[in-house]
């Protein structure tokens, strides 16, 4: 995609994949409109508020890379 806009947060030159989410929607019990991947999310500080069912994305000046097996710093 030339650009991907999510709630006003724009990422240029994004890769996209088209998926049939009907099985995921049926299993989860609610309709999902899409899935954001790590290549998109790595450009944002991501905060999840489970109590309020909110996802907050804060733009970063450069992409964040974290190995899958890395533990968070304490």
| Rounded-to-integer distance, Cα 43 and Cα 57, Å | 9
Q: Please give the model's pTM, rounded to 2 decimal places.
A: 0.59
- Indicate the Cα dihedral angle 73, 49, 22, 39, nearest 10°: -40
67 in a structural domain: no
| 10 Ramachandran zone, left/alpha/beta (phi>0; psi -120 to 50) | beta
41's enclosing H/E stretch is helix 38-41
74 in a structural domain: no
**pLDDT above 80: residue 13:** yes
Query: What domain range includes position 52?
Result: 3-59
pLDDT band at 8 (very low <50, low <70, confident <90, very high): confident
65 in a structural domain: no
| Rounded-to-integer distance, Cα 40 and Cα 45, Å | 11
* Tens digits of residue pLDDT in 39-68: 888 888 899 999 998 989 888 877 666 666
């Amino acid at each position: 995609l030339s650009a991907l806009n999510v709630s006003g947060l724009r990422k240029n030159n994004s890769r996209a994949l088209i998926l049939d989410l009907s099985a995921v929607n049926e299993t989860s019990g609610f309709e999902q409109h899409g899935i954001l991947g790590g290549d998109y999310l790595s450009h944002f500080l991501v905060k999840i508020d489970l109590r309020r069912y909110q996802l907050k994305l804060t733009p970063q000046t450069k992409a964040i890379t974290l190995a899958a097996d890395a533990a968070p710093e304490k």
